[in-house]
Every structure is written in structure tokens, then in C-alpha cells.
Amino acid sequence: MATTARTPATTPPAKGSPMSSTRKTALVAGVFYLITFISIPTLALYRPVKNHADWILGSGAGTAVLVGGFLEVIVALAGIGTAVTLYPVVKRQNEGVALGFVAARVLEASMIFIGAVSLLSLVTLRQDLGGAAGADAASLVTTGASHVATYNWTFLLGQSLMPGINALLLGSLMYRSRLVPRLIPVIGLIGAPLLITAVFATLFGVIEQGSSLAAAAALPVAAWELSLGVWLVVKGFRPSPITAGAVAAATPAAHQDVAV
């Protein structure tokens, strides 16, 4: 009898059977994590406005910056989606840390929005000027430089520091709960201190933002998020007391629905 009771927890559902609630949660969270990587093209899309101080004096719609801003908005919302989706599951391991992960994701998204708005506002100024700056050219170039500086700082804190903090928070939850193979959160737990150290080194001028050393420090955290997203989409959560508890908590509600 004991063996029969354990079988459903380890046997995959039959083909065509409805997806369990925990499998849906893992799938949605994994998709959100993969969506966060669509902002990679912004490195190229923003290059003209970041590398040319007089970009604001030019003419044109600034389509590349508009596309980059749109991608970053999606990334910010997807980041919040990862935390909100995973919270009901990982809070069973440690509710305080899980709540901290949600708060950190919201803060990260807020800084991404601020950075995107700082560059999108330059598009508006460029369109309004239409290439006719006149005597105010120098002040407009200074304005453009200040907006770019705002973006650079929000990128450093929002898209470099916060992912490191998120890796520490969620990585510890995933490692202790064994919801995914422990190698995956280990990558994040190793990469997080490296990335955070690189951020502070950039903050105090030890290394240059966007340098090869800064990029190398970000790779382990990027690998952690990508591997987590792929695993959740393809495999879902591994059987654990947390997933068993989630199923048990959902069972009474299902019985009530059937009774009604």
C-alpha cells in the first residue's frame, strides 16, 4: 500500500492528461525567464545615442531607441512575472526570502523603466527639434549627455546589481528546496558575488562599465537565469515536499468544485 501511494509522485502523467497546477506554474515562470533575454539587442539599438553626444541634434524618428525601450518594458514586466509566479511555490521554503525576491524584482523593474524613459525622452526632443537646434546646441548636447548618464547608472544598478541580489535570494531557495537540480542554483550562487563585486568595482571606478571584465562577471548569472528558464519550461519542478504540499493544498478546493 505504501508503494502504491508513492507512485503518483514520481510517475509522469499519462499522455493527454491535464497539466498539474505546479507544472503550469513552472512553465509560466520559465517562459517569463526566457522572455527577459529579449533585451539583448538593446546593446546595439542604443549604441548611436550612447556613443554620439550630438545624437539629439540629428533628425529622424529614432526608431532603434523606440524599439529598445519597448523591449526593456517587456523585460521589466517579465521580471516581475517571474517573481509573482514563483512566489506561491518558493514561499513554502522560506516566505521572508521569497517576499524579498518579489520586492527585488519590482525594484529592478522600476529602475529599468526609469532608464528606458530617460532615453525615450531624448527621442521626443530629437523629433521636436527636427535637426534645428540653433544657438541652444551646446545645452541640448549637455541635456542628452545627462539622460544617457541616467540610463547608464540605472542599468548598472537595475540590470547588473539587482540580478546578482536576485540570484542570491532565489538561488538559495531553489538550492534548499531541490525544485531544480542543485547545479543550476549553484551557478547563480557562485555568479552573484562576482557580479555584485564587479558592480561596486564599476561604481568606484576600478573597472569600466561595459568592459570585457564587467561582461565576464555577468556571464554566470546570465547562465543561471537561462538554465533555470529552460529547465522550468522543459522539465518543470522536481518532486519535493514543497510540490507535494502545493498539490495537497489544492486538492480540497478541487473536491469542493466537484461537489458543487
What is the share, in percent, of the chain residues with pLDDT greater than 70?
Answer: 85
Largest CA distance in the chain: 87
Structure-block grid coordinates of residue 148: 544617457
**Looking at 1-5, 75-79, 90-94, 187-191, which range is the least confident one?**
1-5
Q: What is the pLDDT of residues 146-173, one digit of tens each?
A: 999 999 999 999 999 999 999 999 999 9
Distance, in Å, from the CA atom of 171 to the CA atom of 152, rounded to the nearest integer, reads 27
Distance, in Å, from the CA atom of 241 to the CA atom of 253, rounded to the nearest integer, reads 19
For residue 33, the one-letter residue type is Y
Work out the burial of residue 138: count CB atoms within 10 Å of its CB; fewer than 13 is exposed, 13-18 middle, 19 or more buried: exposed
pLDDT of residue 5: 40
Distance, in Å, from the CA atom of 68 to the CA atom of 88, rounded to the nearest integer, reads 32
Write the DSSP symbol of residue 56: G
Choose among 105, 128, 133: nearest CA to 36: 105
**Looking at 89-103, 107-121, 138-152, which range is the least confident one?**
138-152
Q: Which residues contact 255 (CB under 8 A, 6 or more apart)?
A: none
Confidence of residue 227 (pLDDT cuts 50, 70, 90): very high
Count Cβ atoms below 10 Å from residue 116 Cβ, excluding itself.
25
Confidence of residue 256 (pLDDT cuts 50, 70, 90): very low
Higher pLDDT, 148 or 20: 148
Distance, in Å, from the CA atom of 121 to the CA atom of 136, rounded to the nearest integer, reads 17
Angle at which helix 241-259 crosses helix 21-35, to 10 degrees, equals: 120
Distance, in Å, from the CA atom of 146 to the CA atom of 128, rounded to the nearest integer, reads 18
Q: 194 and 174 in contact (C-beta within 8 Å)? A: no
Choose among 220, 217, 227, 55: nearest CA to 148: 55
Distance, in Å, from the CA atom of 257 to the CA atom of 254, rounded to the nearest integer, reads 5
DSSP per-residue letters across 143-191: HHHHHHHHHHHHHHIIIIIHHHHHHHHHHHHHHHHTSS-THHHHHHHHH
Question: Would you give the end-to-end CA distance of the chain in angstroms?
Answer: 31
Count Cβ atoms below 10 Å from residue 226 Cβ, excluding itself.
16
Is the pLDDT confidence value at 186 over 70?
yes
- pLDDT averaged over every residue in the chain: 87
Q: 169 and 101 in contact (C-beta within 8 Å)? A: yes
